[in-house]
Chains A and B, each alone.
Chain A
Amino acid sequence: MHLKYESTLREPLVDGVKDYHQVTEDIISPIEAKPGKLWYVGFFISLALLGFGAFSVFWQIYFGVGVWNLNKTIGWGWDITNFVWWVGIGHAGTLISAILLLFRQGWRTGVNRAAEAMTIFAVMCAGQFPIIHMGRVWMAFFILPYPNTRGPVWVNFNSPLLWDVFAISTYFTVSLLFWYSGLIPDFATIRDRAKTKLRKLLYGVASFGWTGSTKHWQRHEALSLVLAGLSTPLVLSVHTIVSFDFATSVIPGWHTTIFPPYFVAGAIFSGFAMVNTLLIITRKILKLEEYITIGHMEAMNKVIVLTGSVVGCAYLTELFMAWYGANPYEFDTFFKYRAAGPLGWSYWIMMTCNVISPQVFWFRKMRRNVMVTFVMSIIVNIGMWFERFVIICTSLYRDYLPSSWSYYRPSWPEVGFYMGTFGLFFTCYFLFAKYFPVIAVAEIKSVLKTSGENFKEKMEVYEEESAEKFAHDVAHAH
């Protein structure tokens, strides 16, 4: 009997022959080089979008909320759809960084940094919508419970909309802290190999004076673990609370107990799709194919097919309950105005993109195909955008009073606002990809021993000795 070091089940987390220094070179050198042409093109397109978004928001604030096509019947349209969509996208980042850390999934190390960055930028985009949606944004601070001169009159702590304020701001803060605490050692790596004075200065400030002391690493590990433990229920709570915005109301199609798990599954579904979209481009442009491998994409595609099917089950459950519940309003909402009626097309886009198309990922060949993964990631995000649109608009446009029935299509400031958040998201992401280590350098180094090709060669000595001798040596190791 002989020992076998290499697993026949698990593929390596990092491809190629690498030592610690090579890892640093591979990940840090794009930061030190001038960005390519593609980077500039992408960055300026994003800036232009951001500018257009800022103009659309200015228009809305200047002329009032009436420039949007919302009306008395449809009070929530693209704004809240986009809010829920962006928050949902953020969830995959926390799932990868926190939940997969607790489950000890080694593959997360290659993708967690970029995914967490995505979370932070997505939540930044999401937060704009409810605030601008208030109409009089200069009154936005009224949502905070501070001692005011009006009584003080406090906010309503029973309201899911207020829970949202707390959930989103906590989520943003905790994600930012988690992300930044992981970045500190990597900034120190950039600082210590920096050739220019400016880089030494800036990364010196950003690295907080990190040295890599063993005691500090011990605390850092403890901090990461506890932050992961805190983020795990947090991420589930955030989309649960977002779903309460709907579920605690009495609108047919919103008033369902299935919403929290259904929203969380949908959030993870769309978030993983966005991670795939971003990472397929990032690994190609920054030449990080050996760190963000096909194996990573396959793992995420497995999550996509799972959560996509969970979401599909939720759709079917809703339809079943609408029939079985014997509530005529709910039955009509689902069968006459959601799956059919003037907005019925959006329901079928949602069904096709979210439930039917992800089923291709049952095939290993499809899961490992970069092009299929990329196209699917975009389809899933379109589908998930339509899910939120369907939930919000098809429940509202046919209400209890037929005389107030209406239809809804967005006006240009609504579309512009949405495009503007894309601008914000990608501007941030481009800056992140240029100035930040897109892969957690220190974490990759700590999994290299169990994964690197050159460490496998070192194990050949052990593979040749007999299993009994190895067991004896290990048992009596001093």
Chain B
Amino acid sequence: MAVKNFVVGLFDDEAVLFPAVKKVRTAGYKLHDVYTPFPVHGLDHAMGLRETSLHTAGFIYGITGTTTALSFMSWVFNVDWPLNIGGKPHFPLPAFIPITFELTVLFAAVGMVMTFCWLCQIMPGVKKHIFHPRQTDDKFVMVIELTEKTNAEEVKSFLQAAGAHDIHEQQAEAGWWFGRFDKDDEPYLRKVKPVNA
């Protein structure tokens, strides 16, 4: 990603945050993100984010597990080594159900969690810029990206009017990098010129 300039404002209450999000969008500012300490229902819709397709991915992983289990067990018992087990049939479908079910669940769960981590770009060792240390505690942090068309002072007074407090500008890396949270190793400290300066 890239280093960019942002205007950051804090909100204490969802009841103030929702109208503010709406105002920012109608005013046409570029809403980078809203960071919240817990899932705020309806905020994704208010921000105009599309629904996630994670469920669909989970379904696809699930049927992959089903087919893997069924085809593998059938291949083993019918093709690779047809073993006579007490004269029982080589394709005992009812006896295959438990393992088929377990593998369906396993594939769906593991696949979904990995997809979730990949989509959110999170994994051990990954570091991202934290705009405010209380965004994981009790503050709703709205971050507006500055573009060549926006004036920082104007955005600040706009946020002030919308009910935010502690409004300030930040220059930050918008993406992720490998780093440690005990070190101030943010790329922007290396004096990179922001792309939107």
CA distance A227 to B114 in the complex (A): 13
- Please state if A214 and B128 are interface contacts (CB–CB under 8 Å): no
Q: Which residues of B contact A166 (CB under 8 A)?
A: 98-99, 102-103
Residue in B110, B126, B134 whose CB lies within 8 Å of A192: B134
Q: Is the CB of A201 within 8 A of B181?
A: yes
Enumerate 20 A-B pairs (CB-CB under 8 Å) in ascending A order: A21-B137, A157-B99, A158-B95, A163-B98, A173-B110, A174-B109, A177-B109, A184-B122, A189-B136, A192-B135, A193-B136, A205-B124, A209-B121, A210-B136, A211-B130, A215-B44, A218-B51, A219-B54, A222-B54, A445-B37
A230 within 8 A of B: yes
- Decide if A223 touches B76 in the complex (CB within 8 Å): no
Q: How far is the CA of A193 from the CA of B119 in the complex (A)?
A: 26
Give the residues in chain A near B164, CB-CB below 8 Å.
none
Of residues 76 to 121 in B, which have CB atoms within 8 Å of A's CB atoms?
A: 76-77, 80-81, 83, 85, 88, 92, 95-96, 98-99, 101-103, 105-106, 108-110, 112-113, 116-117, 119-121
Query: In the docked arrangement, what's the CA distance between A188 and B136, Å?
Result: 7
Interchain Cβ contacts within 8 Å, total number: 208
Size bin of chain B's contact surface? 35 or more
Q: Given the complex of chains A and B, what is the CA–CA distance between A72 and B105 in angstroms?
A: 38
**A237 and B102 contact, Cβ closer than 8 Å, known pairs A192-B134, A211-B35, A226-B58:** yes
B-side contacts of A237, CB under 8 Å: 98, 101-102
Given contacts A219-B116, A223-B112, contact A446 B39 (CB under 8 A): yes
Chain A nearest CB from B49 CB (Å) reads: 6
**Which of A163, A208, A210, A445 sits near B99, CB closer than 8 Å?**
A163
**B55 beta carbon closer than 8 Å to chain A:** yes
Alpha-carbon distance between A154 and B117 when the two chains are bound, in angstroms: 35
Residue of A nearest to B129 (CB): A211
Q: Are A173 and B54 in contact (CB under 8 A)?
A: no
Q: Of residues B72, B96, B136, which shows the largest number of chain A Cβ atoms within 10 Å of its Cβ?
A: B136
A234 at the interface (CB under 8 A from B): yes
- For residue A173, which residue of chain B has the nearest CB? B106
Contact at A177–B110, with CB atoms within 8 Å?
Answer: yes
Q: Which residues of B contact A378 (CB under 8 A)?
A: none
- Whether A20 lies near B137 (C-beta < 8 A) is yes
In whole angstroms, what is the CA distance A324 to B89 when docked? 33
Question: Contact flags (1/0) for A33-63 with B, using CB distance below 8 Å?
Answer: 0000000000000000000000000000000
Contacts of B92 in A (CB 8 A): 158
User: Do A227 and B135 touch (CB < 8 A)?
Assistant: no
A189-B37, A204-B180, A209-B127 known, 12 other contacts, Cβ within 8 Å: A157-B73, A157-B77, A201-B181, A208-B117, A208-B123, A209-B123, A210-B136, A220-B120, A230-B108, A233-B105, A244-B98, A445-B37
**Contact across chains for A145 and B76 when beta carbons are under 8 A apart:** yes
Does A362 interact with chain B (Cβ within 8 Å)?
no
| Cβ-closest chain A residue relative to B101 | A237
A217 touches B40 (CB 8 A): yes
A212 with B105: in contact, given A21-B138, A189-B137, A193-B137 (CB under 8 Å)? no
| A167 on the B face (CB < 8 A) | yes
